[in-house]
Structure 1
Amino acid sequence: NPDSIDTVDFSRDGIDLHEGREISVMKSIKVGRVISEDVDFISEQANVDQLLTIFSMARDSFYFPVVDESGRMTGVVSLQDVKSILHDEELRLSARVGNICTRKVVVLTPEDNLHTAMALFDAKGLEEIPVVEAEDNRWVVGMLKRREVIAAYNKEVLRRGISERVAPVSSVSAE
């Protein structure tokens, strides 16, 4: 049994002293606490010209959920997806977002933790990930940005009074 009498109470609180502090903090924060719920999405029926209008108005996002008529996410679209037809006005007006969007989408749910989110950001090279109600119910509830994960982590570290200069337990070297 790896739990001593001292660590039992911590593990009940979701804090695992056997893993690095960073991982422990990340696992303790749910995605739902961090997401921005102000999400711009676009209909799969919209044309590329309409999408470009949304891109031009977007504050800091160039990655949008694509939804069907019921509001469920069916894909995502980025500036990368439209680059090839930017200079073809006829195609911009005729091509539907549903035809150019990416259908295989990495998603998170509000119940996922920030450790899971960060692993996805790193593995997929993404800066933001759509957050849906559930894997089988792709109703978009928000977007999670990588920088929001880092900000939430830093805020939690300060809240807990853990010094950011402390190395993870797993990488402390004997001096």
Structure 2
Amino acid sequence: IMFLLIFLKILATSITLGSGGAGGMFAPALFVGAMTGGAFGTVVHSLFPAYTSSPGAYAMVGVGSFLAAVTHAPLTGMFLLFEMTGNYKIIIPTMFATTIGTFVAHRLFSESIDTYELSKRGINIHAGREITLLSTIKVRDVMRRDFTPVRDKVNLKEFLELVINGGGGFYYPVVDSNGDMLGIISLQDMRRVLFEDYIKEIVTVGELATEGVLVLTPDDNLTTAMKNFALMDIEEIPVVAPDNNKKVIGMLRRGDVIAIYNREILRKHSI
């Protein structure tokens, strides 16, 4: 009977909540845990009566393990069960059951019953306020559209003249004759040949450019952008068209992201 009640309770709870009825998950979890533990205890006790406890003990451990699993809180399951029974002998098996139950539940479903509804609304309580704030701002709102692309056939001497004359920025997208990005060149890349005049006249920007760079799209948020900045330890990332990852439409600077974050923090605290 207990084995049948497990599935009947799950079915009844699913129908109630799925149809919009009032109810929760806490009590059903305790019930299913008790029935599962009791059913298992009945089977093993009938097979090995001399080596096992009564089915009631297994039912109590089942309550603790299911409570820990659905809340992702093993200590809650252990302490609640100890307070309910007052039996310290049940603590050891409960520790094992709640730990295993929490581990399996977390691997199968990352959210607990307390955070599931929030996650469906797009609220991530595991993230800090910084990440939550940055995730609401799009790259298009911060990127610079007045960037300077450099042809791949330009030699390094001409490139330096461009920078000196106010090219702007420290990172420059290198493009071919069609305007498609081939890579990125930075002033850091120029350090090793900065004082070699003969090399600057024969080496082109395309030969020195870094290929396979990370890119962003205008629809990406600033959380993604900051992860890329940290991953590559760079100060600027090219922003490409959503339908063409070779067509650069802007540049995003780490300093601009930090500045807008500070501005938004001040604005929120002033409201």
Same fold at TM > 0.5: yes
Give yes or no for contact 1:34–1:144 (8 Å, CA) kept in 2.
yes
**Which residue matches 1:30?**
138
Task: Sort the Cα spacing of 1:106 and 1:42 in 2 relative to 1 into closer, same or farther, 3 A.
Answer: same
Residues 147 and 168, structure 2, Cα contact 8 Å, conserved in 1 = no
In structure 1, stretches of 5+ residues that fail to align are 164-175
Point out the structure with the larger strand share. 1
Which residue matches 1:148? 256
**Greater Rg over alpha carbons, structure:** 2
CA distance in 1, matches of 2:231, 2:245: 24
Once the two structures are superposed, residues 42-82 of structure 1 have per-residue CA deviations (whole angstroms, 9 ceiling, x without a partner) of 00011111110122133752211101111111101112222
Could you tell me which residue of structure 2 aligns to residue 133 of structure 1? 241
Moved over 6 A (4+): none
Could you tell me how far 1:123 is from its partner in structure 2? 1.8
- Aligned to 1:28, the other structure's residue is in SS state coil
| Amino acid of the structure 2 residue aligned with 1:65 | P
| Alpha-carbon distance in 2 for matches of 1:84, 1:30 | 36
Following the alignment from structure 1 to structure 2, what is the Cα–Cα distance between the partners of residues 97 and 19? 41
The TM-score with structure 1 as length reference comes to 0.79
Equivalent AA in structure 2 for residue 113 of structure 1 = N
Q: Residues 101-140 of structure 1: matches in 2 within 5 Å? A: 101-134=209-242, 136-140=244-248
Distance 1:16 1:162 in 2: 21
Per-residue CA deviations over 1:11-44 (Å, capped at 9, x if unaligned) read: 64x5534532211111111111110111011000
53, 57, 60: which one aligns with 2:165? 57
- Helix, strand or coil for the counterpart of 1:126? coil
Equivalent runs, 1:76-87 vs 2, <5 Å: 76-87=184-195
Which residue of 37, 40, 46 maps to 2:148?
A: 40
The SS at the match of 1:147 is: helix
Q: Which runs of 5+ in 2 are unaligned?
A: 1-112
TM-aligned CA deviation for residue 137 of structure 1: 2.6
Q: Whole-Å Cα distance in 2 between the matches of residues 26 and 80 of structure 1?
A: 28
State the number of aligned residues: 158
Partner of 2:26: none
- Once the two structures are superposed, the pairs formed by residues 64-75 of structure 1 within 5 Å of their partners are 64-75=172-183
Residue 90 of structure 1, CA deviation:
2.6
| Residue 3 to residue 78, structure 1, CA distance change in 2 (3 Å) | same
Looking at structure 2, the residues matched to 80 and 3 of structure 1 have their Cα atoms a distance apart, in angstroms, of 46
Judging by fraction of residues, say which structure has more helix. Answer: 2
- Over the residues paired in the alignment, what is the CA RMSD in angstroms? 2.4
Greater RCO, 1 or 2 (C-alpha within 8 Å, sep 6+): 1
Instruction: Supply the AA of the counterpart residue of 2:151.
Output: S
Compared CA separation, residues 145 and 139, structure 1 to 2 (3 A) = same
